[in-house]
Amino acid sequence: MKESPTVYLVDDDPSVRDALMLLLSLRDIAAKPFENAESLLAELTAEHRGCVLSDLKMPGKSGLDLLEELSAQHIRLPIVILTAHGDVATTRAALRGGAFDFLEKPVDEDILVDVLTHALAEDARSFSRQRETDAHKARISSLTPREREVFRLLGRGYQNREIAGELGISPRTVEVYKARMMEKLDCETIADVVRLALIVDPKDSTSG
């Protein structure tokens, strides 16, 4: 069983780790310390919930390296970069790489807690959206191949006659497949179908 939402704190300075762990404990924020990016990468998986608070310049992998590694491993936790060496170029690189925020040391405690609170909330929202998407995809997988084709074309805005022409079947047959498909997906209107298509495959739904 994975841990509850946690701030994964990465800093090679023991005194900084201790101070930040104490601060987060006093603010009732669960946190776990790591002395380098490598040790966090060895433990973290896409199933973990929370956010990462990482120093920028560390022996071994830097905070930006960590950002890239987590992205490559499809670990989408919000990442807050904390550094005493901030500059415009580094800030842009961190944000361009997907960092949630970038704070310079010494950081105001209230600002840090506020940023981490928002990062934890963003992860919770993202996780909820992903679970919803996974549930939709599971329902779509129950469709027959033909029902899935009708779903895809409806999601792209095709009318019944256009779908019939595309699939080489009659408009009446399209209606039959559409009715079965909508029942399986628990969709009451075509608008529901389009919204579902946009959620599970936005690129396909906006093409054509």
CATH of the domain at 99: 3.40.50.2300
Query: What residue numbers bound the domain in which 103 lies?
Result: 6-131
Q: For residue 17, which of 108, 82, 114 has the smallest C-alpha distance?
A: 82
Q: Are residues 92 and 160 in the same domain?
A: no
pLDDT of residue 25: 96
Task: Give dist(CA 151, CA 185) in Å, integer.
Answer: 10
Q: Are residues 195 and 123 in the same domain?
A: no
Confidence (pTM)? 0.69
Task: Give dist(CA 45, CA 197) in Å, integer.
Answer: 28
In a domain, 136, yes or no: no
Q: How far is CA 7 from CA 23, 40, 103, 169, 203, in A?
A: 12, 12, 15, 55, 33
Helices and strands (DSSP H and E) totals, the chain: 10, 5
pLDDT of residue 1: 42
Task: Give dist(CA 101, CA 177) in Å, integer.
Answer: 48
Show which of 85, 111, 131 is a domain's final residue. Answer: 131
pLDDT of residue 137: 84
Q: For residue 55, which of 64, 46, 47, 43 has the smallest C-alpha distance?
A: 64
Q: Are residues 112 and 166 in the same domain?
A: no
Q: Are residues 161 and 116 in the same domain?
A: no
Q: How many residues does the chain have?
A: 208
Q: pLDDT tens digits for the chain (208 residues)?
A: 456 899 999 999 999 999 999 999 999 999 999 999 999 999 999 889 999 999 998 999 999 999 999 999 989 899 999 887 667 677 777 777 788 998 888 889 999 999 999 999 999 998 888 888 788 888 888 999 999 999 999 988 899 999 999 999 999 999 999 999 999 998 999 998 988 888 777 555 444 4
Q: Are residues 42 and 61 in the same domain?
A: yes
Q: Are residues 91 and 159 in the same domain?
A: no
Number of domains the chain contains:
2
In a domain, 21, yes or no: yes
pLDDT of residue 207: 44
Show which of 131, 159, 177 is a domain's final residue. Answer: 131
pLDDT of residue 179: 94
Q: Are residues 169 and 91 in the same domain?
A: no
pLDDT of residue 88: 65
